[in-house]
Amino acid sequence: MKFFKSVTAIALSLTMVMGLAACGSGSATPDEPEQNTQEGQEEEAPTGDAKTYKIATDTTFAPFEFEDESGNFVGIDIDILNAIAQDQGFEVDLQVLGFSAALQAVEAGQADGMIAGMSITEERKERYDFSEPYYDSAVVMAVSATNEDIQSYEDLAGKKVAVKVGTEGYAFAESIKDEYGFEMVVFDDSNGMYQDVTVGNSVACFEDYPVIAYGIQQGLPLRLNDTQEAGNSYGFAVSKGKNAELLQKFNDGLANIRENGKYQEIVDSYTK
């Protein structure tokens, strides 16, 4: 009997360890069935079986994710994610990594999913599964507010153009760089890219319209070029074929917060 008990105890602790590991990786295995409490030891009050998912995001991509004046990490993506987590009863372990690093973390299984103003592209669909689109976007060219010389892509010949690694803006710049004869300067984050343009090293950058328009509205000394390239909507992503359960929760929660007005409330709080 004693032997049996200790075997149960070991099995119990193993189950807990495995349970924790499953939590950490957000794997789709169902929760382990409840174990009997050990003799003379009260089981702790259940804290619920809320799963914690590691969600990767970008560092600076206002109004989607950024640090506000009080040092809080906020934004449309963050608020949407938290509202969905609350609606669907899961916990979020946010990993603020930067865009390219987030892409890699998800692919490598170090994060369960990502939300980072990530455009749903055909190419990415080969490596990621996306949620329903939650925000429309497009790529635009921005130049320094004081620079009148750059009016079109033709004016980029022989000049430097700032881009952010791994992004749609980068891919677009790359696709036209030989045609228009410019050189690309690559940054890890959007702020570095903007700065390169404002100090005059690069004459232009390619960025998502909702992000650069917000920046300019907040006082970023840049000006938009008229040409808006066709862009792709943003989606929440998981690694292809993995975390289908998390993706489902995201979609279900998104539908709910759209219906109950929370989604619009969040968007308005940043864009109005």
User: Please, which residue, 119 or 202, has the CB nearer to ligand GLN?
Assistant: 119
Q: With contact defined as beta carbons under 8 Å apart, do 119 and 166 qualify? A: no
Q: Long-range contact list for 195-200, CB < 8 A, 24+ apart?
A: 196/160, 196/162, 197/142, 197/143, 197/144, 197/162, 197/222, 198/144, 198/222, 200/144, 200/147
Strands 91-96 and 52-57: parallel
Q: How far is the CB of 261 from ligand GLN (least distance, A)?
A: 26
Shortest distance, position 136 Cβ to ligand GLN, whole Å: 11
Contact 254, 82 (CB under 8 A): no
Complex with ligand GLN: residue 22 or 96, whichever CB lies closer: 96
- The binding track of 126-165 with respect to ligand GLN, each residue x by CB under 6 A or -, is -----------x--------------------------x-
8 A C-beta contact, residue 206 and residue 172: yes
Q: Does 51 bind ligand GLN (CB under 6 A)?
A: no
User: Pick from 92, 208, 212, 254: which binds ligand GLN (CB under 6 A)?
Assistant: 208
Q: What angle do CA 198, 204, 206 make, to 5 degrees?
A: 115
Residue from 75, 117, 215, 253 touching ligand GLN (CB under 6 A): that is 117
Residue 167 binds ligand GLN, judged by CB under 6 A: yes
DSSP 8-state code for residue 65 = B
Strand partners, 186: 163
* 116 forms part of the interface with ligand GLN (CB under 6 A): yes
Q: How many CB atoms lie within 10 A of CB 269?
A: 12
Pick from 79, 112, 168, 196 the residue near ligand GLN by CB under 6 A.
Answer: 168
* Stretch near ligand GLN under the rule CB under 6 A, chosen from 1-9, 117-125, 177-185, 194-202: 117-125
Does the bond joining 133 to the residue before it have cis omega, within 30 degrees of 0? no
Q: Does 58 bind ligand GLN (CB under 6 A)?
A: yes
Q: Nearer Cβ to ligand GLN, position 143 or 193?
A: 193
Contact between 119 and ligand GLN by CB under 6 A: the answer reads yes
* HSE of 168, CA atoms in CB hemisphere, 13 A: 25
Site for ligand GLN in 237-266 (CB under 6 A): none
User: Which pair of structure tokens corresponds to residue 153?
Assistant: 């892509």
Which string of x and - marks every residue 77-106 that binds ligand GLN (by CB under 6 A)?
A: ----------------------x-------
Instruction: Kindly list the residues in this chain that would bind ligand GLN in the complex (CB under 6 A).
Output: 58, 61, 99, 116-119, 137, 164, 167-168, 208
